[in-house]
């Protein structure tokens, strides 16, 4: 997912859309049609894909060598994920590249997904005498019998053939999408909304060191023209192209990357005045991950941004302060009356201040926190 500018690209003589540049339109497609209430069809810029995947293709370790890569939310006619892997096929040493897309057998970047069939392409590294990727008609590209939904039997068969999945799945189906990858024990690097960390299912996978965050954060994305303009993080460029900016997009992966083994440097000493205890958890408040005290061995509540730097050999993730009842660190559960009284005291009117939803310091809820402990 990412941003691009410019006008639509026409097919090149080989039948493939040209790669996007700073002044051109983005070429990646999401899997599912944006439903009226969900609008999760975004398009990833090639530079964002390159920025992330360079960390998985280092001189020390190339995760993709000899592997079959699946991009199962990607129209090969316009996808930047296909573009990246097809053009890097031999450099990465890929075995095979498979792409599928949802209900789109026409070259329009923003298909209405009104057709009933998806598209499947298998690329084995073929090149023209001039070293180019052949036209689509000369490759193993066929309409699917079904609609290309990643949950369909056809797409599940292709998933079973893959070693690594790399794509930008629909945000509204993110939980189900990740669950499928984990169930089938596939390696993956996918874009998601960072808010997904708060989903019980996703956080459970992070806590168990089953998945973790990647390196970079795509920010701006081209979206279909019919998406309404918003008051903020929304604009049209000089060509009328519709854009949205997401401040919380990130990559999720289960592939071993270097930063997982980099220790966070700690330089603060514990000071009770700086690090108060929570009213409702047996833990202290650490308002920024950079201030984690080096000499404290107990439980600490840290911002979610800590997960960007988590080294499982240095810290253990215990959970989050939330309404979930099975939290061993919780020391107090507030009554409904206490929550109503707290709201009136804080805001001067009737209401409910849900003190059980977060960690509390001196009667005030703090922002979302992750509970951790040094190993």
Band of residue 29 on the pLDDT scale cut at 50, 70, 90: very low
pTM for this predicted structure: 0.85
Cβ neighbors of 191 (< 8 A, separation 6 or more) are: 1, 44, 167, 168, 169, 218, 249, 250, 251, 252
What pLDDT is recorded for position 33?
36
d(CA 132, CA 134): 6
Residue pLDDT, tens place only, 126-140: 988 888 888 877 888
pLDDT at 257 over 90: yes
Cβ neighbors of 36 (< 8 A, separation 6 or more) are: none
What pLDDT is recorded for position 7?
30
Angle at 81 between CA 95 and CA 54, to 5 degrees: 75
Count of helix runs (H) and strand runs (E) in the chain: 7, 17
The helix (run of H) or strand (run of E) holding residue 92 is: helix 89-92
Band of residue 208 on the pLDDT scale cut at 50, 70, 90: very high
pLDDT at 18 over 90: no
Angle at 123 between CA 117 and CA 128, to 5 degrees: 120
Phi, psi of 144, deg, nearest 5: -80, 160
What pLDDT is recorded for position 232?
86
Q: Which strands form 234-236's sheet, in the order they lie side by side?
A: 220-222, 242-245, 234-236
What percent of the chain shows pLDDT beyond 70?
86
What pLDDT is recorded for position 114?
56
What pLDDT is recorded for position 21?
37
pLDDT at 327 over 70: yes
pLDDT: which is higher, 37 or 246? 246
What pLDDT is recorded for position 113?
52
- Which tokens hold the place of 14? 């080989």
pLDDT at 67 over 90: yes
pLDDT at 26 over 60: no
Choice among 48-52, 102-106, 140-144 with the minimum mean pLDDT: 102-106
Residue pLDDT, tens place only, 268-302: 999 999 999 999 999 999 999 999 999 999 999 99
pLDDT at 6 over 50: no
The residue extents of the domains of the chain are: 46-259, 262-374
Q: How confident is the prediction for the chain on average, in pLDDT?
A: 86
């Amino acid at each position: 997912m990412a941003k691009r500018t410019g006008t639509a690209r026409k097919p090149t003589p080989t039948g493939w859309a040209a790669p996007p540049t700073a002044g051109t339109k983005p070429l990646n497609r999401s899997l599912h049609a944006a439903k009226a209430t969900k609008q999760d069809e975004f398009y990833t810029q090639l530079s964002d894909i390159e920025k992330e995947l360079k960390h998985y293709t280092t001189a020390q370790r190339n995760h993709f060598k000899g592997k079959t890569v699946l991009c199962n939310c990607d129209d090969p006619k316009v996808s930047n994920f296909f573009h990246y892997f097809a053009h890097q096929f031999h450099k990465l040493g890929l075995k095979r590249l498979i792409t599928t897309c949802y209900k789109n057998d026409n070259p329009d970047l923003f298909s209405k997904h009104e057709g009933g069939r998806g598209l499947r392409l298998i690329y084995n590294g073929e090149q023209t005498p001039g070293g180019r990727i052949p036209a689509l008609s000369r490759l193993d590209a066929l309409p699917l019998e079904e609609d290309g939904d990643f949950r369909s039997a056809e797409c599940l068969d292709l998933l079973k053939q893959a070693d690594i999945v790399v794509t930008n799945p629909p945000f509204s189906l993110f939980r189900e999408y990740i669950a499928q990858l984990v169930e089938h024990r596939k390696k993956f690097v996918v874009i998601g909304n960072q808010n997904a960390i708060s989903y019980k299912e996703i956080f459970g996978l992070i806590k168990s060191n089953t998945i973790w965050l990647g390196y970079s954060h795509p920010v701006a994305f081209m979206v279909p023209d019919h998406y309404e303009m918003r008051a903020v993080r929304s604009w049209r460029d000089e060509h009328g192209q519709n854009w949205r900016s997401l401040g919380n997009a990130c990559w999720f992966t289960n592939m071993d990357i270097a930063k997982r083994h980099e220790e966070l440097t700690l330089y603060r000493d514990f000071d009770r005045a700086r690090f108060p205890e929570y009213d409702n958890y047996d833990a202290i408040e650490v308002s920024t991950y950079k201030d984690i005290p080096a000499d404290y061995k107990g439980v600490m509540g840290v911002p979610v941004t800590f997960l960007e730097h988590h080294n499982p050999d240095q810290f253990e993730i215990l959970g989050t302060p939330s309404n979930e009842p099975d939290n061993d660190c919780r020391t107090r559960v507030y009554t409904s009356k206490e929550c109503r009284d707290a709201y009136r005291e804080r805001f001067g009117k009737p209401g409910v201040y849900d003190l059980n939803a977060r960690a509390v310091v001196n009667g005030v809820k703090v922002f979302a926190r992750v509970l951790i402990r040094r190993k």
